[in-house]
Structure 1
Amino acid sequence: MIARAPPSADQQLEFLTKLQRLFAEGDFTATYKFALLIALSDLAVELGADDGAELSLATRQIAERFVQLYWRHALPFGTGQARATPGVLVQNLGVQAAVLTAIEEFRSTSSSTTLQQARREVAYGLLLAKVAAVVSAQPLTYLQNFGGITDPFIYERPGRGIVVLKPNVAYCLRRFHPLVQQLARNHWVGHVKANRRNHGILGDAGDLEDFLFGISRQSLAIIGAGLRKLDGPRCFYCGQGLHEGHVDHFVPFALYPRDLAHNFVLAHPQCNRSKSDSLAGKGHLVRWLERLTVRSPQLSEIGAVAGVVTDGEVAHRVAAWGYANAHAAQGRAWVKASIYEAIDLGYLQRLANP
């Protein structure tokens, strides 16, 4: 991969304009295209760089993200909801989405209760191959069709099983990741709600977005118990003992809405609410980086039991991306209630040399 200068402001605006047109003028018969945009933007953050270089991805990498995104969707929604009939949500205007069907079939014969357990099964490779074939034939083929034309402004496909994000695209997906995620997720929720076959399943439910993209209460409880055992019954931020602890995303979920085991910490409800969607101050970052190195195996074990992604290197790269973006925007980091500090070069140096 050859480094290139970052895109100009005009080039970034052109990308956003075309992305807006894609959402407005694209044909969305299933939720696949939303999943593809989420997957590509996540992979750009985790594997790309802040320059204008191309980024080569394997279709199988994208398929892995599809399985992660749709894994929980293969379970019935609506249990215990008012005027709702529990069932698997339909995510295609025709027959059920093939990705969901493949996951349902895998789960029906698997003894695994979490995705992390499932990945160790021989049959998981077959599931991934099926999903990769669907991703290749459908969203990767049709995503860039909108307004009656094909405009390959995001990626090209130079060979079998390879997708190459075009120059400047990885940078833009990194730079505008929260916006891309919000647009894709909002349209995904709207698509599911608009499908008439889902009306009886949804009933009066108001937690559809949480079901589609959030972490289950069971997984959250497992993570909380694991963090309490690992770090002790004290708040990660203020260091004081706690009776009731909240599981907090160190790099805020609003900034990077993907659950990573190594990104979780236990916090006082007050500290958690005060920090909210802010990045944490330098003192907190230093301790988090040390913990990432020293306790990575234990965090991986907690994530494996809870069924969330376990990858300390990815968590580190996500943090480096988040703080670099904040530094470029002259952002400020949360230290404690009502106290913030500028995100200076010292933050980036810490992340470069943990």
Structure 2
Amino acid sequence: MSCAPSAEEQLDFLTKIQRLFNESDFSSTYKYALLISLADLAIELGKDDDSLLKLSNRQIAERFIELYWQQAAPYKDSGSNESTILFQNNGTQAAIIKAINEFRQQNNCNSSQAARGSKNYKKLVTAVAATVAKQPINYLQNVGGGNLPFLYERNPSSIILKKGVAYCLRRFQPLIQQLARSRWTDFIKKNTKNIPILGEKDDLNSFLFETSRKTLALVCKGLKELYGNKCFYCNKSSSELEVDHFIPFSLYPRDLMHNFVLACSKCNRSKSDTLGAKIHFDRWVKFTTNNSEAISKIGERAAVSSNLEISLAIAKWGYELAINNNVNFWINSGHYEKLNISNLFR
């Protein structure tokens, strides 16, 4: 019978993750991308027990394409020459960046979501999967001059997350994401080849990992057409609606179209980084399920990835994590409630 790893096993996992960040040789950003990808896939496909989880190289490659898609574009609005694309390793430009950039130039796709519909997408996935298998999967568990194989076992076309690893990745995903993204940003800043590209601007983290204001404006317009000029939370009309992450970005820092709702400034500030109460959760599930196709079309126009099944899995993970940590759930300004899993997931 599968069960959750013990407190000691979870602490041991965190200790090894810390060693990985501190003692590994990071000659590119690939290892950071792999850690983020494994944590995301564990949330989407894993369970809250100590069971194994098999992930194909192609599944991981598709997540790499999504992570690097925006970063394969020029950092500055100064044309599309190679010199304006940020360097992701200490040598020549990273192979995955080159592959995605070439794909972007040869195919009329404005997002990784749109790329999936291209006849050449499978070829891109194959190329990225080969690089992922040869490099970060092969070397991620090399720590301090030795090998620390605590995360997974390798196969020719897949990896198998070891007993308890998927659970720990799910449990500590926010921490792993924060560490990986912070180190990723620092790596790019410290690369001397990027200094003339970065200049004096201080928006690197936003460029690497966040949705642009232009994209959010398109999302806002589309949701207004679908839902009207009303706040999702208080249901009051407002002329100044803002795009809000229903599952807070601080908890799960990845933009998915089904996770976006419109909120008035008062509700958005009050809710902040908390999870909504049961009334909001139930309304969100009903709204996204009933309008899934329309929401996906907004995502296509705005170049934002959309997947209802994944968004629901992320929400379930986030709420279960919060309930297990005994947090309060936001109703409205100054009002919160406790939830339990049995009355939330029925």
| TM-score normalised over the length of structure 1 | 0.94
Find the residue that maps to 1:189 and give its secondary structure: helix
Q: Single out whichever of 11-20 and 120-129 deviates more from structure 2.
A: 120-129
Correspondence 1:211-250 to 2 at 5 A: 211-250=207-246
TM superposition shift of 1:37? 0.2
Stretches of 4+ aligned residues off by more than 4 angstroms: none
1:203 to 196, 199, 204: 199
Checking the alignment, whether the CA contact within 8 Å between 1:261 and 1:299 is kept in structure 2 is yes
**AA at the equivalent of 1:280:** G
Is residue 2:52 matched to residue 1:69? no
Gaps of 5+ in 2: none
Correspondence 1:60-139 to 2 at 5 A: 60-79=58-77, 87-139=84-136
What is the CA–CA distance in structure 1 between the aligned matches of 2:339 and 2:303, rounded to whole Å? 33
What is the CA–CA distance in structure 2 between the aligned matches of 1:216 and 1:133, rounded to whole Å? 30
**AA at the equivalent of 2:114:** Q
- 1:136-188 CA deviation, whole Å, 9 max, x = no partner? 0000000000111111100101x321111000000000000100000000000
- 1:105-150 CA deviation, whole Å, 9 max, x = no partner? 1111112222222211111111111100000000000000011111
Checking the alignment, whether the CA contact within 8 Å between 1:78 and 1:86 is kept in structure 2 is no
TM superposition shift of 1:343? 2.2
What is the CA–CA distance in structure 2 between the aligned matches of 1:143 and 1:281, rounded to whole Å? 39
Checking the alignment, whether the CA contact within 8 Å between 1:56 and 1:164 is kept in structure 2 is yes
**AA at the equivalent of 1:27:** D
Residue matched to 2:317 = 321
Residue matched to 2:333 = 337
State the identity %. 49
Is residue 2:28 matched to residue 1:30? yes
What is the CA–CA distance in structure 1 between the aligned matches of 2:214 and 2:118, rounded to whole Å? 23
Residue matched to 1:154 = 151
**AA at the equivalent of 2:292:** S
TM superposition shift of 1:218? 2.2
Is residue 2:127 matched to residue 1:141? no
Closer, same or farther: CA 345–117 of 1 in aligned 2, 3 Å: closer
- 1:14-53 CA deviation, whole Å, 9 max, x = no partner? 0000000000000000000000000000000111011010
What is the CA–CA distance in structure 2 between the aligned matches of 1:27 and 1:250, rounded to whole Å? 37
| RMSD (Å) for aligned C-alpha atoms | 1.3
Checking the alignment, whether the CA contact within 8 Å between 1:79 and 1:86 is kept in structure 2 is no
- 1:54-101 CA deviation, whole Å, 9 max, x = no partner? 111111000000000000011111348xxxx97100011011110000
Correspondence 1:32-47 to 2 at 5 A: 32-47=30-45
Find the residue that maps to 2:232 and give its secondary structure: coil
TM superposition shift of 1:286? 1.0
- 1:221-271 CA deviation, whole Å, 9 max, x = no partner? 111111001111000001100111111010101001111111110000121
Residue matched to 1:12 = 10
Residue matched to 1:186 = 182
Checking the alignment, whether the CA contact within 8 Å between 1:223 and 1:306 is kept in structure 2 is yes
What is the CA–CA distance in structure 2 between the aligned matches of 1:273 and 1:204, rounded to whole Å? 30
Query: Alignment length, in residue pairs?
Result: 343
Correspondence 1:339-354 to 2 at 5 A: 339-346=335-342, 349-350=343-344, 352-353=345-346
TM superposition shift of 1:337? 0.9
2:168 to 166, 169, 172: 172
Gaps of 5+ in 1: none
Find the residue that maps to 1:267 and give its secondary structure: strand
